[in-house]
Amino acid sequence: GPREGYDNLAPALERIAAQTDDGPCVTYIGPDGAGHYVKMVHNGIEYGDMQLIAEAYDLLKRLGGLSNAELADVFDEWN
């Protein structure tokens, strides 16, 4: 949306955003529709990650013969 709207809300957004060493995890994305595009790209990456986790679980369970407790340990270590 409009940069002016972001600028008005930025102080509040920065206070509630997750923080890293580089600062708050919030920024202006761009004009109308830009945020939707960023969300679409993010979702595509996230859904790919979730599918990879599901495939790894299935392979370890079916072919590797791991129990649920063993799988929990593996995924805990990977996380």
Mean pLDDT of all residues in 48-55: 98
Higher pLDDT, 1 or 72: 72
Instruction: Give the position of tokens 């997750």.
Output: 18
Domains of the chain, by residue range, sit at: 1-30, 33-79
Tell me: the pLDDT tens digits for 16-45?
A: 999 999 999 999 999 999 999 999 999 999
Percentage of residues in the chain with pLDDT exceeding 70?
Answer: 100
- Alpha carbons 63 and 40: distance in angstroms, whole number: 34
pTM of the model: 0.66
Instruction: Give the position of tokens 């509630």.
Output: 16
- Could you list the active site residues? 39, 46
